Amino acid sequence: MAATHTLPAAGHTPDVPVRTIGAQDLNAVLREGYADFMEKRGDLLIVGLIYPMIGFAAAVIALGGAFIPLFFPMLAGVALLGPVAALGFYELARRREAGLESTWSHFFDVVKRPAWDAIMAVTGILLMIFFAWLAAAWILYAAFIETPPETPGQFLTALFTTTRGWGLIVVGNLVGAAFAWVVLMLSIVSLPMLVDRDTDARTALATSIRAVRANRGVMVRWGIIVAALLVLGAIPAFVGLAFVLPWLGYATWHLYTRLVDRSAIPVAAPGSR
């Protein structure tokens, strides 16, 4: 891994140095994330089961008549909010690295972190992106499908057996990929960094964007890995997400530690929150 430094302008806070990584680092963080999950699998399985419930809730809401077209966008949107769902896993990984007790009871200790306000600010941005994605999906649906479906069967027929339906699938996936890329750029480093260190949202977001720009090819590969694992986890009635989400949460923490020179970020003072 090579560090890249940006020379600050006069009067500005120096940028947090970011590193360039390779495909071997992705393999390493997946192994490290898996090891973390296996060590805590008895406790974290309970916490991990919370998130498949999100998928079920999305399905129930979307199957309610007029919201049928939003079924798939809502499921995809859950992935956009994945970095927020992983906050507790970042905290557990931080505690484990620091040699602190890290049982499932510490999952929500993230609210005690000194940068909690900044975490909420980034979370708000991701929520706005989520709702923007739903709006975009609805607009695309209205543009491609002329007659609103009354049942899930009618919707699936229009989607998979018509030219307009396949056009919606292609364009919708491209637009969804663009939203996913934006979320990855904004969150891959920022949220773990805010859990780890006492800094502000602007610095964390800027560092995340620079880290992705310095590793575009590797980050594209990471995005594909995440998407594939989420799909695999969602196939068996979302139950697989109880394993995939904690695994990816831990792996993302280890990815953050490889992407950023943490020594340049202030450490939270004891009792600062």
Cβ contacts of residue 59 below 8 Å, gap of 6+?
71, 75
Q: What pLDDT band is residue 271 in, cutting at 50, 70 and 90?
A: very low
Give the range with max mean pLDDT: 42-51, 81-90, 249-258: 249-258
Cα 95–Cα 100–Cα 102 angle in degrees, nearest 5:
60
pLDDT number for residue 37: 87
Residue 147 region by backbone torsions, left for phi larger than 0, else alpha for psi between -120 and 50, else beta: beta
Res 62: pLDDT: 58
Give the mean pLDDT of 41-67.
Answer: 61
DSSP alpha helix (H) spans, the chain: 23-39, 41-48, 50-62, 71-80, 82-85, 87-97, 116-144, 152-160, 163-187, 190-196, 201-213, 216-234, 241-259
Please name which of 77, 187, 88, 85 lies closest in space to residue 132, comparing C-alpha atoms.
Answer: 77
Contacts of 175 (CB under 8 A, 6+ apart): 136, 137, 140
Rounded CA-CA distance 108/105 in Å is 7
Distance of CA 194 to the CA centre of its chain: 14
Rounded CA-CA distance 243/212 in Å is 26
Looking at residue 7, its pLDDT comes to 37
Please state, in angstroms and rounded to a whole number, the distance separating the CA atoms of residues 60 and 89.
27
Average pLDDT over residues 72-97: 86
Average pLDDT over the chain, rounded to whole? 83
Residues paired with residue 20 on neighbouring β-strands, in sequence order? 2
For residue 187, pLDDT beyond 50: yes
Report residue 6's pLDDT band, with 50, 70 and 90 as the boundaries: very low
Q: What is the three-class DSSP state of 18? A: strand
Q: Strand pairing partners for 160?
A: none
Cβ proximity of 98 and 113 under 8 Å: no
Helices 216-234 and 71-80: crossing angle, nearest 10°?
130
Dist CA 87 CA 15 (whole Å): 24
